[in-house]
Structure 1
Amino acid sequence: MQSSTQHTNAGPSRHGRARWSRGQVLAWGGVLLFCLALASLAYYWAGKITTDRLRVSGAQRLNAYAASLENLLDKYDFLPRTLELNKDVIALLKQPDDPALRAAVNVYLERVNQQARSTTIYVVNLKGITQASSNWREKDSFVGDNVSFRPYVRDALQRTPGGFYGVGTTRLEPGYFFAHGIYHDGQMLGVATVKVNIEKLEKTWVQGGDKVMLSDEHGVVFLSSVPSWKYRTLAPLSADVRHRLEKTRQYFSHPLEPLGFAYQPEMDDGTRKVQVPEQAQINGKEGRASGMLMQRRSLAPRNWEFIYLSDLSQARSNAQAAFIFSCVAEGFLVMLFLYVRQRLRATRQRRKAREDLQHAYDNLEIMVAERTYSLRQMTQNLSEEIAVRRQAEQKLQVTQNELFQAGKMAVLGQMSAGITHELNQPLTALRTMSDNAVVLLERGRLEVVKSNLVTISQIVGRMGTITGQLKVFARKSTAPPSAVALQTAIANALFLVERRMDLERVDFRLHMRSPGANALCDSNRLEQVLVNLFNNALDAMADSELRQLTVSVDSAGARVLIRVADSGPGMTEEMRSHLFEPFFTTKPQGQGLGLGLAISEQIVREFGGILRAESAPGGGAQFAIELKVAEQELGHD
């Protein structure tokens, strides 16, 4: 009986353990399936996100490449139209048998081609025969060639400006051709053609490692970052298209074989995936290329198309990395779950940490009191230091104002001889005319006396203008910055050195590219800077045969630039590095203290601007004053 009872009790226990094992297996199986599903979802989203980023990046690069190409072509679009302005070109098209005219036009086209940095410029008559060319010195010159078969020449002869990309039949050099009719008195005499090399764009593509192509309206790739793709076609060409290309000799002897890309259906956003064949070379290496994402951008009105290929291997790599990371993270979470059950072992550590925290809290008030006392002492020291610094700044401001005023007085001293001459002449005239007025009044010639008095009034007004300008220049200015008309400030400064410029025979030129420009500054102090720069320029040109002072004003967004350039000997790099240091001067002993540029730089800096020295384009020295544009001018724009 006992044995039977024991057997009965043991049976349910083994059965319960079996049921618990099956439940555990099912639970862990469900967890595993959930983890796999989550990892698969991570794989999908990582690939999609990377593909979307490649799509956005590709679109941005396409826009940048298209903009660079358009900028390059637009720079030369006007050039053919300018040739009809040359009288020798018109004369040659009217008298094609004149060798002197042909030689003159050849030299002119050669010079224009060098200045514009184009490939070739040539002039064609109404029969399509080249009359003159910039490459006339070379053996394979275009002079005498018949280019009437070229589409751009035919379009231009039909009074439609032509544009055409093709491979040259003489040198086999590719380029883009601009063609425009040459007219005189409303009559077409010929065609002006400019060839521009756009192959240099490929170098930037190759250096960037991008896979980009530029194809024409027939799908012929004529620019590519992968050399083996150049002069290949995106799809096989029809017989009619091949016949037209052979007739125009657009790509001359290139066979125009298809690339053999395998295209997948186009997606909603216009992109599609492409498989590149094994024999296609990428970056100079052969082998099987991964699938690529193709993006297109049309270039109207030239009917060209930019194509950008993004390697999708990165998307697959990111998806695989996301899958692996998800699996690792899920494994970590499982391990963390198992570890949580062991957290009871850390109870004693948490209890000890609470005791340490209570001890730290008990000592917190003492620490706060000590820190508060330290901060109070630091605050007091800082207050004393701030008071001392404020006094020093006030003294510095006073000293700077006195230094600015001393600079003005120095400038007035330098101009004293000219000012004395300007005042002596009208004073002499006043004395003579007043004496004459007395004699004429005694004789009763009142009309002549009245005329003399009117002239005397005018002379006195002119003297008042001179002294008033000197008074404005000499007075101290503490006004805050405001809107100052640069044209007026330049005129006022020029008035003070005008006599010296006349005596030294200096040619003055003013280029107001922004006539209504207003700068945020103080007019009196800006005139002081301009007068100092004018006098320095006149001193620099004292021994120069060519004496030319040039002032230009340009606006660039929220900044305005005033440039003062002379035709003197210029500056060395060593001189330029010390120009704005106090007491540095390049003038002979006794002719300058070396404070003018230092004061001027300080004045401009207080306006929030910059004064810097540059090298003039034609030689000599050039100083640039960069100031903020006045807010009222920005609002007006």
Structure 2
Amino acid sequence: MRWVVVLVVALVVAWLAGRWANDAAIDKLRVASAQRLDGYAVSLENLLSKYDFLPGTLELNKDVIALLQRPGDEALRAEVNAYLEQLNRRSGSTTIYIVNLKGVTQAASNWRSRQSFVGDYVAFRPYVRDALRGMPGGFYGVGTTSGEPGYFFAHGIYYQGRMLGVATVKVNIERLEQGWEQDAGKVLLADANGVVFLSSVPEWKYRTLKPLPLDVQRELEESRQYFSHPLAPLGQRELRQLDGGAALVTLPGDQRTPLLSLTRSLAPRHWSFVYLSDLSSASASARSVFLFALLVQALLVLLVLYARQRKQTRDHLEVLVAERTASLREMTHHLSEENSVRRAAEEKLRRAQSELVQAGKMAVLGQMAAGMTHELNQPLTALRTMSDNAQVLIERGRLDDAKGNLATISQLVARMGALTGQLRQFARKSDASLTAVAVAVVAAVTSALFLVERRVEQERVNFRMLVRDQDVQALCDSNRLEQVLVNLFNNALDAMADCDNRQLTVNIERANGRALIAVTDSGPGIPEQIRAHLFEPFFTTKPQGKGLGLGLAISEQIIREFGGELRAEAVAAGGARFVIVLPLAEQETA
């Protein structure tokens, strides 16, 4: 029950805060709406006051007086028509016309048009009736001849104290609506009967703010003030009356969204300005304050609960600290043991990796064994033949020829020594903990090529090495880099075995602070689905018995250990390209 009471009190306080915020927002909106209505009312009065004097000035024209005295004088009528036409153009009004005491139009500014008012009977119009009774008339209505709405000014024309007729000026005030349409709110202007005749919403024009009584409907039909418009009710519903002529209303089509309606009366015309403002901002402000009040109260409740929980926690803290200390001490002991086991496992892994790299070397040497045997057999045969010849030449006393044979033998022995030395260097087992040093990339490529040179010649492969910078040095181990290059060369030669065009290209360059070695062949290329698995252990595309699928996996691991990257790329012209990316030695030194 205590928590239920707290919840109810919190909701009530939050609701009151939201209600206060909503009322404050509505008051602020009401003040802004009143200011806008004042501005619109001033604009309307300024527009109408420009023409209020114009009908009275027509009795100063002697031709107008003469026409009302001699209505049958057609020449005089033409002069008055021309005068009214010119006056209408200069004043910017819609129409100016003269009516006699019987309510028949004698002259008009629109006498040239097919909708000329000349000869029309207009005595039924309220503004004409008022002017004939001696009261200057003002009237808004829809023209019965042209169908165009406007405001009519009517004033009696007197001569020597006697009324001769009525001067009428029609003014278009519809252009005021263009300024209203730019407003965020909705603006209405209604007559004394509540008929909307100007509106920023075109659909609301000639609608009524409330249903019209029958006598008012009959009077409007007789005066034809709004001519053929049906004057259906707008359908606004008042929700709550506020101070200062304001109210909360809803409109048809959106009954759930209330609007703030502010009404301002315009005397002496008995018109009413109505300004409708959207209350979504006020509602959003009320919701925000409501939620903020709830959050503040929730925060206060949480602070109280936190204080209670902290008091309970403080009592139990020492026991928890003691238990955690013992647990951490035991955990530290276990972690120390696990660390020792992990270091031993890492040492075994390094040794296994070193053995795997050495196995890869031996596999490459096995593939080259036949070629090396042939490479050594030829010099050995030549050595035997030339040594026998040297003995014969010495016996015959041809010492110069014997010296030539011995020099050739020395060159052959040096060549054989270089070949076996390179093989011995390649077969040497690398230390797993060997650190990276500066290695000349061109020299490493040359050494690796020396090991596969015999196969390149036998298989008639065109070899090209493109070097942009001779002194490119990479941070790595030369022996392992040569192992990777030999493996890439052998793979390229295998790929081109069945090709007519056999081209092996090596590019060496610097790019983005790295050393790049690209090995490109003219073989059939590597499909996309196979390229994704190239560096997986035991994955191979060679026939069974031709490879274990470890060469590229070992090569990729070697390059990665030196902080580099080995990747495979497709070649647009066909073939495959493997790119070795290694850090430059200059960077490491800096």
TM-score by length of 2: 0.49
TM-score by length of 1: 0.46
Q: Which protein has the larger Cα radius of gyration, Structure 1 or Structure 2?
A: 2
